[in-house]
A and B are shown apart, each in its own frame.
Chain A
Amino acid sequence: MTPLGRSSYRVVVVGAGIVGLYTAVHLARAGAGPIFVVDRGFLSSGASGRNGGGVRQQWETAATVRLARESVAAYRRFGREFGYNPWFRQGGYLFLAENEPELAHLRRVHGLVTSEGLPSRILTPEEVARHIPGLAEGSVVGGAYLGTDGTLYPFPAVWGVYEAARSLGVEVALGVEALGVDAPDARLRAVLTTAGRVETTAVVNAAGGWSAEFSRRAGLSAPNTPTRHEILATEPMKPFLDPMVARLSDGLYFSQTMRGELVGGLTMRDGVGTEAGMPSSPRFLKEMSRALVRLVPRLGSLGVLRAWSGFYDDTPDGFPLIGEDPRQKGFFHANGFGGHGFMLAPAASRRVAHAVLGEATDLDPNLFAPGRFLDPHRSLPVERLQLG
């Protein structure tokens, strides 16, 4: 446990992942006052250190496209801004369609993305094959490609925002768990942690896979569900594949990192809840290997180097929760990113900071407001382009 530097803070951020730390940086730069970040694990022990590093701007809704586009710009300048090089490589994102309905889906996405001014393209199977050397014949009917999407190496981004936060005076306590809040009346008084009581009037729930649990500990029901997703990396190879490849049917995705490893996963909806921890499963290793080898048969002799897993923080409609909880003044959400927190963090956390500071944000409350699930008659858009 880290002894607290003071007993009272302007803002307490729960979760030292990319979203929590980025939020702390935005708040500190805005001169919000003393900020305290707690995390139950070590730095990068959650999804921020476990994701595949994809950053894409191809989404079904304009609001998400805009957040992603702003994040791409932020990651492009990240190295110069934060002193750490996340190796954000704009090798493109290539979505694969295996049948005409999927291709029609990609066309709709393409229409929206281009209307937002981004040069996405619909590709023929031949064009797809040029991006994926060794693609099995007849495995796709087409694809959608945006060359300015890309991948990054997540760890340096975490170190960068962590050190920036600290140099701005933010206190970060690792190995400290947030146990709940003290809010005897409408006002928030304190956050209770394993390191003691921390007086504050604002708390940001950026706990990723554990955010629903922290909301409940604060007495607030939460719509999000932590879902375990597995991922693997292969032996490193010389450059072979430029884009991140993602398939609509089963959520298969993979890219080649700067270190030469192929890193990827696919959707297996059978690990709900954080209780079982973050193990790997035989089934994933088999299904993932089979999907990869069927799509790119030449990869069969390549060795799987390691496998791991982490939590997506899923919401029912595929949009994150950003902003103040209408039921508890001072309780702010920065969660529910559904496995896409890393790619949206720079832009999303800026809105979180605005909300904490009481400033207006440009976010559509119908899509992002934490209270949207409290309305039982709600019938609103859903972002279905959640993969992996």
Chain B
Amino acid sequence: MADAPERRFLFDGDARSARPGETLLGALGRGELPRLQRSIRYHRPRGPVCGVGYCTGCLVRVNGRPNVRACRYVPSDSDVVTTENSWPSPRFDVYGIFDYLFPGGIDTLHGFRRPAWATRLYHRVIRRLAGYGNAPDPATASRCPPPVRTASVEVAIIGAGTSGRAAAARLVRAGTRPLVLDRALAIDPVPGADLAAGTTVTFLPPPGPAGFTLLGFEEPDRGVEVHARRVIVATGSYDASLLFGGNDHPGVFTADGALAMRDAGGRPPFRRAVLVGGEGRTDTVLAQIPEYVDAVVAPGPIQPGLTRRASEEEIPLYPRTLLVCANGRSRVSSVDLRSRGGGTRFSLECDAVVLAHRRLPNSPLFFQAGARMEWRAGTGAYFPALNESLETTAPGVFAVGSAGGFGPAESARSGEHAAAAISGAATDPTPLPRVPADGPSELEGYYRELWREPRAGKWIACPCEDVLLTELEEASRRGYRGIEVIKRYSGLGTGLCQGRYCLPDALLVLSLLEQRPPPGVGYITQRPPVVPTPLAAFAALDATPEAR
């Protein structure tokens, strides 16, 4: 591959190149932090956060197509890539003036009502601020409709991670040829199984008489429809975000994002990160990029194994510490911390914050399929209720791996277990422990303490839609209760990530404001599609009643 030619493309008019297979984000980063975006309402500087195709930090326009995620796009020769939602550039954006002009936020619910004659002007300005990119260029239309991929299989496995692969291998042994679908642009083969890489299942409705219909797309816009008798959901988990002042500044990453950008660029786009978390995921990050971590800050206690590793690397530890805010503007330059229980507030210089404090299941498909979900307070997330075959209450939908609440040690075995149950084979009687249903919720107490901190600047409760924490508080003060109403009141969770990043913390915040446990606050209906799916992909699929 070393001799393969580089792909040459234009980025905002400059000639750039990408190695074969390298993503656009990797090619634009190469160990630095690329500036690609401004936020939707206040035009705050934003950088890539999640690295796995959910956040809005790396949206660019490619060949006239808006909102392409640079982390999921492999450039071709003569691609034309431009930045969106900023003028003249993401580094200096004139519209950023709105962030300064409205330090307390723009109140579009109550503001801009007077005088009546200014209505049209208000509409023009506010409409102009909304949206990321322009409508697709007319020239992009010629590629429609794209081809489709359809399949009819006995078992579809969504996710080609450890548990999904284990399930696939076990099914193959039992004589079934499963179809494994995964978002990853490239996946290693599973002998005897069919694979669909770069394919995202975005809609898993409850089964009909003939079984399941899965809808999705293959990058960039090929429609995918799979009919399956049974579905194993092995969608894994992701690193959660955290609320603090300046939590949306460039340089704040999830652990997923930091590692993905390290993989893409050869080294991470930072030198001196503050790593947040005190458990296994933090240990994983520390094991992989210790020389780029300056300190470990944990909301709760720090596990002994992590302590040992950190001391070997001479990295200072701050257990039971509040991350109050990240400072800097165009990039994180320091963080303010305070020891929990009323310690003194202090600062650490850094050029990144890496969030590895909790992992959450990728669960929207379970909700869509109609499976009964159970709140597990220790994780602060919903997991599907499962029977001994690891089948959810939606008959035919099985949950394995971390999406099903199984830890790394049980991941492969959970996949084999579900596959064996589907095959009618004997299953391993050894119990499969899941994440505990109860347990201390470190973050609930953490946020209670963080609430007492004086706040400066905007705290962004929902980065996709630039919803401020103060807007949630205002809604609550006015008597609106429950996440479904707060979502409609504030717009929280209605952006491109559909609540994946903001919802888990919003539940805890509302639990404090409404003085009831998080399940009492409710949950946002997980609407299809899970991630934005091109109209062309759905349009190309057969809509005749037989194909339903």
Contact residues of A with B, CB < 8 Å?
42-45, 49, 76-77, 79-80, 83-85, 87, 89, 133-134, 155-156, 159, 163, 234-240, 258-260, 279-283, 285-290, 292-294, 297-308
- Known contacts being A85-B112, A236-B40, is A303 close to B533, with CB within 8 Å? yes
Is there a chain A Cβ closer than 8 Å to B20's Cβ?
no
For B525, the chain A residues whose CB sits under 8 A away are: 308
Provide the main secondary structure of the chain A interface: mixed
Whether, in the assembled complex, B545 has its beta carbon less than 8 Å from a beta carbon of chain A, the answer is: yes
Query: Is the beta-carbon distance between B484 and A293 smaller than 8 angstroms?
Result: no
B140 at the A interface (CB under 8 A): yes
Closest residue of chain A to B115 (Cβ to Cβ) is A80
Q: With CB as the reference atom, state the residue of chain A lying closest to B475.
A: A159
Task: Assess whether B205 is in contact with A84, with CB atoms less than 8 Å apart.
Answer: no
What CA separation (Å) do A70 and B455 show in the bound complex? 46
* Contact of A87 with B220 at beta-carbon distance under 8 Å, contacts A237-B133, A283-B545 already known: no
Q: Known interface pairs A258-B126, A306-B498. Does A85 touch B109 (Cβ–Cβ under 8 Å)?
A: yes
Name the CB-closest residue of A to B123: A89
Given A260-B131, A283-B543, the answer on whether A303 and B534 have CB atoms closer than 8 Å is yes
Task: Give the one of B143, B213, B488 with max A CB within 10 A.
Answer: B488
A300 touches B130 (CB 8 A): no
- A304–B538 touching, CB < 8 Å: yes
Contact of B528 among A163, A294, A306 (CB under 8 A): A306
Q: Across the interface, which residues of A come within 8 angstroms of B221, CB to CB? A: 300-301
By size class, the interface of chain B is 35 or more
Q: A155-B488, A283-B545, A304-B538 are in contact. Are A299 and B135 (CB under 8 A)?
A: yes
Chain B residues contacting A42 (CB-CB under 8 Å) are 482, 484-485
Question: Complex: how many Å from CA A305 to CA B132?
Answer: 13
Give CA–CA (A288, B533) in the complex, Å.
13
Contacts of B536 in A (CB 8 A): 289, 293, 300-301
Q: A238 to B128, Cβ gap below 8 A?
A: yes
Tell whether, in the assembled complex, residue A293 and residue B108 are in contact, meaning their CB atoms are under 8 Å apart.
no
Nearest 4 interchain pairs by C-beta:
A303-B532, A260-B131, A300-B536, A79-B113
**A residues within 8 A CB of B537?**
289
Least Cβ distance of A148 to chain B in Å?
13
Which chain A positions have C-beta within 8 A of B527? Answer: 280, 306-308
In the bound complex, CA of A155 to CA of B475 (Å): 13
Interface members, chain B 497-548 (any A CB < 8 Å): 498, 525, 527-529, 531-543, 545, 548
Write the chain B residue with the least CB distance to A308.
B527
What are 8 residue pairs bridging A and B, where the CB atoms are less than 8 Å apart in the complex? Answer: A77-B116, A80-B113, A238-B132, A239-B130, A259-B131, A289-B535, A305-B529, A307-B527
User: Is B136's CB under 8 angstroms from A286's CB?
Assistant: no
B137 within 8 A of A: yes
A44 with B488: CB separation less than 8 A = yes
Q: Is the CB of A237 within 8 A of B134?
A: yes
Residues of B within 8 A of A304 (CB): 529, 532-535, 538
